[in-house]
Amino acid sequence: MNRRELLLAASALPLMGLAGPASRAFAQGAAEVTIGVIYPMSGASAQVGIDARHAFETAAEIINGAFDFDMPTAKAAGLAGLGGAKVKLVFADHQADPQKGRAEAERLITQDKVTALIGCYQSAVSATVSAVAERYGVPFLCADSSSPSLQRKKMKYFFRPAAQDEMFSAAMFDFFDVQKKKGKKIETVSLFFEDTIFGVDSSNVQRRLAGERGYKVATEVKYRANSPSLTAEVQQLKTADADVLMPSTYTTDAILLTRTMAELGYKPRNLVAQAAGFSEKVVYDAVGDKLVGAISRASFSLDLAAKRPFIATVNDMFKARAGRDLNDNTSRQFIGLVILADAIDRAKSTDGKVIREALAATDIPGTRTIMPWARVRFNEEGQNPDASPVLLQYTGDKFVTIFPEDVAVAAAIWPMNG
């Protein structure tokens, strides 16, 4: 909140019936709690940022309003711990550039005086933003970046509610093991990954898990992110002809990969993706006819709405803004802001250190979220160890949950391409 906004808020207090010590506390910062949101709002990943904005604005509507469902911050209008304070979001565009993200984080902290930061989709950007937040003692809620190395830096102000790629990849190999026990052929995998922290971390985990579980890595293809051509790389994949192709790639590259595979006549028998681009509607709008049967790991399953009706309400609110359903990314963004707001509410403070302690003490049953998680809590690295992943399969018009079996609504189509 800037000086002008603070004075306006203070001048409005008599009209709100506040007086004495309570009015002074409200004027000092509880009228609004400003949270900085750092996402790609332009460039190749702009649609991700646009959808993220819809997710965060949906969460803010619920936090600031009063809704009759059992989710943190939903029932009370505003943050009760701060006298009904409203959450104000300030958006910044990092343009998928880690250094731009660093600069935007510093600006939000020093100029906009944000209480906390949330972001950032690309793991490479979350790495620089989390370092800035740590230096200033400002909580950073990592909503959707999934590289395991982000949590390894022993940062006090870093918190990630969703699973990271070690957890997601373990779920994939658990699924492979189950399929093998059912008599399905899965002996070899091909790793396809971009040359950023996201792709490299993902491939390192998948390579290790393949070795531990007895699967052969037929080929590993590392490519330059946002490459203009993937012809040579796809030819390597086609030659290897593994039982499962495992891509770790963002949106534009996912589209290019799929189109190039079709042009070269390569039809992987199975494709199991590290979400990212393969969780985005724009990919399926562009090349969905070539991805029927593709599987993606996820943090979210809309199928869960059958058990928790308020998930459908939240999805409808989001869809009214975005024109599409919640997905792996937007669900994590939505619940990330709810979890951050809940901590600020319990902290009864906008001080970074106090909010940090409240985040560390978080313990929310999974049934009080829109996610299929067991709980939301944080270990000493700021990671939620109970963010249970799921696997979704694209049927040609929608995703259905296929794993784990206790939440699955359909059996896997395996192999996807005969």
CA neighbours within 13 Å on the CB side: how many for 104? 27
Sheet of 244-248, strand order: 216-223, 188-194, 244-248
At 380 the pLDDT is: 96
Q: Global pTM?
A: 0.82
What are the beta bridge partners of residue 216? 188
Sheet of 390-394, strand order: 272-273, 295-298, 390-394, 399-403
The CATH code for residues 31-163+305-387 is: 3.40.50.2300
At 22 the pLDDT is: 31
CA distance 174 to 371: 20
Domain with CATH 3.40.50.2300 in the chain: 31-163+305-387, 166-298+391-403
Q: Is the dihedral angle over the CA atoms 406, 410, 411, 416 positive or is it negative? A: negative
Counting as low any pLDDT under 70, the low residues of the chain are 1-30, 417-418
At 275 the pLDDT is: 80
Give the pLDDT confidence of 118-134 residue by residue, as tens digits: 999 999 999 999 999 99
* The two three-digit tokens of residue 266, written as one number: 């390569």
**HEC sequence for 8-27:** HHHHCHHHHCCCHHHHHHHH
Phi, psi dihedral angles at 281 (to 5 degrees)? -60, -35
At 34 the pLDDT is: 98
At 405 the pLDDT is: 85
Q: Are 302 and 311 in contact (CB under 8 A)?
A: yes
Domain 166-298+391-403 maps to which CATH number in 3.60.10.10, 3.40.30.10, 3.40.50.2300, 3.20.20.70?
3.40.50.2300
Give the C-alpha distances (Å, rounded to integers) separating 231 from 153, 243, 276, 302, 381: 37, 20, 21, 35, 40
Give the pLDDT confidence of 82-127 residue by residue, as tens digits: 999 999 999 999 999 999 999 999 999 999 999 999 999 999 999 9
